Amino acid sequence: MQFIDLHTQYKRHEETIDKAVKRVLEDGHYIGGREVGELESTLAAFVGRRHAIACANGTDALKIVLMAKGIGPGDAVFTTPFTFFATAEVVGNLGATPVFVDIDEKTYNIDPAKLDEAIGKVKKAGTLVPRAVIPVDLFGQIAAFEAIVPVAEKHGLWLLEDAAQSFGAQRGGRRSCSFGLASTTSFFPAKPLGCYGDGGMIFTDDDELAVLCRSVAVHGKGRDKYDNVRLGLNSRLDTIQAAILLEKFKIFPAELEARDEAARRYSTWLSGKVTTPFIEPGCCSAWAQYCVRSPRRGEMMAALKTEKIPTAVYYPVPLHKVTAFSYLSPVTLPVSEAVAQDIFALPMHPYLEVSEQKKIADVITSC
Ligand SMILES: Cc1ncc(COP(=O)(O)O)c(C=O)c1O
């Protein structure tokens, strides 16, 4: 059994994907080809943003926005410790300070009340300037922006939605990648909308920020790429990957539906035995991961492994505890620390068979 089955997906759509790749190979515009622009306008329309800027990966997407906004030493950027390292790594890379805020116990997303407290504390201490918040849409569920926005506004901070795991999700009728000043996503193969390599995208409604992000992504270009007006990066989405994404986007709604059905089956069969995911009213997750909690995690993962069923732990160490951030002042964030102790992820992808899920549920319930 596969944890995420990309091979079945490819085999089901092999003909159209191969054709799309061949078109690019024949066309010869391997960098910045027509498909890149087409993907940008298609996905901007899908999420409901004015601008989309393709780049090399989801990490660069975050970094480009922070660079475009001039984030640097002395700045505090608030985020969750319960996320992939990249979310906070980019903040540290730019010399700014990530400030970790504990999560909500049910959704595992940043807790808006604790965010307010944390910003207040940093303001009071006066050593760092609070600048921005990066809420992460963890495991595919969009963070509680309706509660986060007023907190950010109260303190004069802007929001960057890290939607690497949530492309396709909805909250209150709005799509992932439409919240905050800017949003970023990842097209890493295992993501809800993944390519066959690396890729990322930035979304914003802010015309000026869009120009700045495009400049940063292309060596700080001004009028053209030899008019370098700022320090930037070399961060491009390959034309072949854009062509693959355009094909995969056609099957994306059906895949989202299949993921949602798989999640509902898991939740029906597992509730009572483990803590199943909590999806807030008015939300649809993109189900990047299906994670459950149990104090008997070790036993359950071992039993599944015996049956050749893969599992994974997201995330074993919250970021305030990882070695790379040991230079920051120590903090205790009890919810993140507790969740890290007993959470684990089950296989989740659109091609998961009902019989496979039944077997997984049987193994867990017999533990
Ligand atoms: C929450 C989050 N942010 C950022 C990233 C970085 O994306 P990429 O791997 O495309 O650089 C990931 C990827 O796993 C992620 O899960």
Report the SS3 class of residue 201.
strand
Domain boundaries of the chain, sorted by first residue: 6-246, 251-366
pLDDT in tens, 140-198: 999 999 999 999 999 999 999 999 999 999 999 999 999 999 999 999 999 999 999 99
Q: What is the pLDDT at residue 320? A: 98
Pocket test for ligand 1, best of 66, 186, 287 (most atoms within 8 A of CB): 186
pLDDT in tens, 209-232: 999 999 999 999 999 889 999 999
Report the SS3 class of residue 38.
helix
Determine if the peptide bond prior to 30 is cis (ω within 30°): no
pLDDT in tens, 116-148: 999 999 999 999 999 999 999 999 999 999 999
DSSP code of 74? Answer: T
Strands 200-204 and 182-186: what pairing?
antiparallel
Smallest CA separation from ligand 1 atom 8, residue: 58
Q: What is the 3-state secondary structure (H, E, C) of 303-364?
A: HHHHCCCCCECCCCCCHHHCHHHCCCCCCCCHHHHHHHHHEEEECCCCCCCHHHHHHHHHHH
* 70, amino acid identity: G
Q: Which atom of ligand 1 is nearest to the CA of 187?
A: 10
Pocket test for ligand 1, best of 85, 134, 165 (most atoms within 8 A of CB): 165
145-155 helix and 112-125 helix, angle to the nearest 10 degrees = 20
132, 238, 275, 324, 328 from 320: Cα distances, Å: 18, 34, 24, 9, 8
* 246, amino acid identity: L
Q: Is residue 128 within 8 Å of residue 122, measured between CB atoms?
A: yes
Tokens 């094909």 appear where? 247
Dist. CA 340–CA 320, nearest whole Å = 12
What residues are annotated to the active site?
A: 191
Give 45-49's long-range contacts (Cβ < 8 A, gap of 24+). Answer: 46/175, 46/249, 47/175, 47/176, 47/177, 47/178, 47/183, 47/203, 48/174, 48/175, 48/178, 49/177, 49/178, 49/183, 49/203, 49/204, 49/205
Average pLDDT over all residues of the chain: 98
DSSP for 128-187, written as a single string: SEEEEEE-B-GGGPPP-HHHHHHHHHHHT-EEEEE-TTTTT-EETTEETT-SBSEEEEE-
Residue 2 scores a pLDDT above 90: yes
Share of the chain above pLDDT 70, in %: 100
Q: Is residue 284 within 8 Å of residue 137, measured between CB atoms?
A: no
Q: What is the pLDDT at residue 286? A: 98
Predicted TM-score (pTM) above 0.85: yes
φ/ψ (deg, to 5) at 333: -125, 85
The half-sphere exposure of 264 on its side-chain side, counting CA atoms within 13 A, is 7
Q: For residue 222, give every residue at least 6 positions away whose Cβ sits within 8 Å of its Cβ, in sequence order, or none.
A: 215, 228, 229
The CA R_g of the chain, rounded to the nearest whole Å, is 21
pLDDT in tens, 254-309: 999 999 999 999 999 999 999 999 999 999 999 999 999 999 999 999 999 999 99
Dist. CA 172–CA 86, nearest whole Å = 27
Please, which pLDDT band fits residue 29 given cuts at 50, 70 and 90?
A: very high
Please name the fold of domain 251-366. Answer: Aspartate Aminotransferase, domain 1 (3.90.1150)
Q: How far is the CA of 269 from the centre of ligand 1 (A)?
A: 30
33-51 average pLDDT score: 98
Residue 94 scores a pLDDT above 90: yes
* 253, amino acid identity: P
With a 6 Å cutoff on the Cβ, whether 188 touches ligand 1 is yes
In the numeric block, which tokens belong to residue 89?
A: 């790594």
With a 6 Å cutoff on the Cβ, whether 134 touches ligand 1 is no
With a 6 Å cutoff on the Cβ, whether 65 touches ligand 1 is no
With a 6 Å cutoff on the Cβ, whether 59 touches ligand 1 is yes
Please name the fold of domain 6-246. Answer: Aspartate Aminotransferase; domain 2 (3.40.640)
160, 165, 177, 195, 258 from 181: Cα distances, Å: 6, 18, 10, 26, 31
